[in-house]
Amino acid sequence: MATETATTASWREAYRGMSSDNIKGLVLALSSSVFIGASFIVKKKGLKKAGASGIRAGVGGYSYLVEPLWWVGMITMIVGEIANFVAYAFAPAILVTPLGALSIIISAALAHIILRERLHTFGILGCVLCVVGSTTIVLHAPQEQEINSVIEVWNLATEPAFLLYAALVITAVFVLIFQFIPQYGQTHIMVYIGVCSLVGSLSVMSVKALGIALKLTLSGINQLIYPETWVFAIIVITCVLTQMNYLNKALDTFNTAVVSPIYYVMFTSLTILASVIMFKDWDRQNLTQIVTEMCGFVTILSGTFLLHKTKDMAEGAGLTSLSIRLSKQAEDGFGSEGIPLRRQDSLRTT
């Protein structure tokens, strides 16, 4: 009887509900996903429009910087990132980051409707899996760690385990940029996305540190007097600019509905790993919660994988009908202008 009572008390403690800070972080993260998901599509439209009259971003051009539509998408993404930035100040990364799955759903749906990038019927199942996995993680996320100074965050960031992780990430990024991108950037999607994801895991840790510093400052505990705050700010700026550059290249070179889920999976996986190492999120949870979170994350991965694979199936079907249309157009004397081929396919045939 005593054992049963103790077990019941343990479960009640484990599932006592979300704190007010976690709820704030949840709402901000969901809002962020809506803006970011839409921004992928607007930016892609701007990149395609800019590439039609200048050098494409995928081959090193920057003509998109004078394209108003791209800036609309960029502003939309900035709004989403600001909401995401604030969310990290209230909730742990293991809660905020996986909710980016919503941006995949929005991006895939809008790409199907606006960009005519076909989405297979099973893509709907992938979207459902993403929602189920996200809900599971939200319900079992750890409570936010109480931090009273940016110095505490700095001490966490300079522990040997996280310094080793950061060193490995930076080394991998330099190898990808200088060794692999010149050879495989135009044909292998993982190269560009690998850089974005690796750098992104460090940027999230710095964003969280900077967000905590600003939250404490606004509450009356000035953190701007500490040089560590400004170091985190410099890291954030550097990482975000790097991510933006290589994400633009990935979007311009590969299909949006493929870029979004792969980027999400890699970015989220590495961010959760970085957060577990730096903020020790799992130290505040029992085994049941950790396993449930991992099950939720695997469910999200399954959904994004399904979106990716069914996208290829949809394109395969589209290319079959495309060949028929091209033959008919050739017989009738019409050109092939307006055919929705993937960017990388057109690159390989030119």
Token couple for 314: 């949809």
Cβ atoms of 90 and 28 within 8 Å: the answer is: yes
CA-to-CA distance for 90 and 24, rounded, in angstroms? Answer: 7
Between residues 175 and 15, which one has the greater pLDDT?
Answer: 175
Cβ atoms of 141 and 93 within 8 Å: the answer is: no
Phi-psi region of 333 (alpha: psi -120 to 50; beta: other; left: phi over 0): left
**198 pLDDT band (50/70/90 cuts)?**
very high
**176-215 as b/e: b if 16+ CB within 10 A:** bbeebbeeebbebbebbbbbbbbbbbbbbbbbbbbbbbbb
Lowest-confidence pick of 8-12, 47-51, 142-146, 282-286:
8-12
CA trace torsion 198, 215, 137, 32 (10° rounding): -70
CA-to-CA distance for 128 and 303, rounded, in angstroms? Answer: 7
Among candidates 107, 131, 110, 101, which has minimal Cα distance to 264? 101
Cβ atoms of 297 and 135 within 8 Å: the answer is: no
Altogether, the residues listed in the chain come to a count of: 350
Q: Is 329 exposed, middle or buried (0-12, 13-18, 19+ CB in 10 A)?
A: middle
Cβ atoms of 286 and 14 within 8 Å: the answer is: yes
9 three-state secondary structure: helix
CA-to-CA distance for 128 and 135, rounded, in angstroms? Answer: 11
Contacts of 71 (CB under 8 A, 6+ apart): 46
In the predicted model, is pLDDT for residue 210 greater than 60? yes
Side-chain-side CA neighbours of residue 308 (13 Å): 16
59-68, 127-136, 203-212, 281-290 — most confident range: 203-212
Cβ atoms of 340 and 117 within 8 Å: the answer is: yes
List pLDDT tens digits, range 222-257: 999 999 999 999 999 999 899 989 988 888 888 766
Between residues 109 and 90, which one has the greater pLDDT?
Answer: 90
Side-chain-side CA neighbours of residue 245 (13 Å): 13
Residue for token digits 């993982």?
A: 190
Output the CA–CA distances (angstroms, integers) from residue 211 to 85, 162, 244, 268, in the order listed: 7, 19, 20, 19
Lowest-confidence pick of 24-38, 73-87, 310-324:
310-324
Rg of the chain, C-alpha, whole Å: 22
Between residues 340 and 140, which one has the greater pLDDT?
Answer: 140
User: What's the gap between Cα 50 and its chain centre?
Assistant: 24
In the predicted model, is pLDDT for residue 207 greater than 80? yes
Please work out, in degrees rounded to the nearest 5, the angle formed at the alpha carbon of residue 298 by the alpha carbons of 295 and 304: 145
